[in-house]
């Protein structure tokens, strides 16, 4: 069964490549998080947002980012992002709180830069996956989180959406990812569009064949890609 994953291309916080992991399996681990780990994650994400200063950031986006940083500061001090640029070479200086890869070099490419030079794709992916993690934590109601903290988590999720909207990032109608491009019939209903992650998880664009043996004969059939199936089967993972 096709399913959505995380780290499909890379970790969107540290830039490492831990290998794709089923989204359901990954988020399950966040139903019983340790408080210190959540605080480390939020502090690091706050650092990434603080350092997000490329030329395409508008005043409206900066205001939305500052509101988010204020909410994070109510939980934990904002730390550095730990993603450092050393003369064009990227290095993550801590164990990543999102994908758990150790510190070390990271390979820059078109969609991975230090946060001061990050593109809208890099920023949108971080916002989306942070939102999913926060939704999972909030819904699981950890024992260490009182009502005030849970409300702050909720407000933080709303603020992350505000950043994405201020960046004018379209939202995938299937999985809710904020991205820069959607696929599908340009003249068809928007509800039938989908993002690159849904496309890949649903089988991509390549023609695939299924070969089965029936009554001693090989039967070849065309396997139809379905970019809607992965998100449809993961509705319970997404924020209400």
- Domain segments of the chain as ranges: 1-240
Q: What is the pLDDT of residues 71-93, one digit of tens each?
A: 999 999 999 999 999 998 999 99
What CA–CA distance (Å, rounded) separates 163 from 98? 20
Q: What is the pLDDT of residues 123-167, one digit of tens each?
A: 999 999 999 999 999 999 999 999 999 999 999 999 999 999 999
Burial 79-112 (b: 16+ CB within 10 A, else e): bbbbbeeeeeebbbeeebbbbebeeeebeeeeeb
**CB 124, CB 164: distance < 8 Å:** yes
pTM of the predicted model as reported, rounded to 2 decimal places = 0.88
Measured over all CA atoms, what is the biggest interatomic distance in the chain, rounded to whole angstroms?
A: 68
Helix, coil or strand: residue 66: helix
What CA–CA distance (Å, rounded) separates 230 from 175? 8
């Amino acid at each position: 069964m096709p399913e959505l994953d995380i780290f499909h291309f890379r970790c969107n916080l540290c830039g490492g490549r831990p290998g794709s992991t089923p989204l359901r399996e990954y988020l399950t681990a966040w139903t019983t998080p340790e408080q210190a780990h959540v605080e480390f994650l939020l502090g690091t994400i706050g650092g990434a947002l603080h350092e997000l200063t490329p030329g395409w950031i508008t005043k409206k986006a900066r205001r939305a980012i500052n509101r988010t940083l204020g909410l994070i500061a109510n939980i934990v001090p904002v730390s550095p992002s730990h993603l450092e640029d050393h003369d064009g070479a990227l290095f993550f200086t801590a164990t990543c709180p999102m994908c758990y890869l150790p510190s070390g070099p990271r390979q820059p490419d078109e969609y991975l830069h230090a946060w001061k030079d990050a593109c809208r794709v890099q920023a949108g992916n971080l916002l989306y996956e942070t939102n999913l993690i926060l939704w999972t934590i909030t819904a699981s109601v950890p024992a260490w989180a009182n009502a005030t903290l849970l409300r702050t988590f909720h407000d933080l999720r709303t603020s992350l959406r505000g950043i994405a909207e201020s960046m004018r990032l379209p939202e995938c109608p299937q999985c809710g990812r904020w991205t820069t491009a959607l696929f599908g019939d340009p003249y068809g209903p928007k509800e039938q569009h989908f993002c690159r992650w849904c496309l890949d998880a649903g089988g991509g664009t390549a023609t695939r064949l299924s070969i089965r043996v029936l009554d001693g004969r090989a039967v070849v059939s065309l396997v139809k890609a379905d970019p809607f199936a992965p998100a449809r089967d993961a509705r319970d993972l997404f924020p209400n």
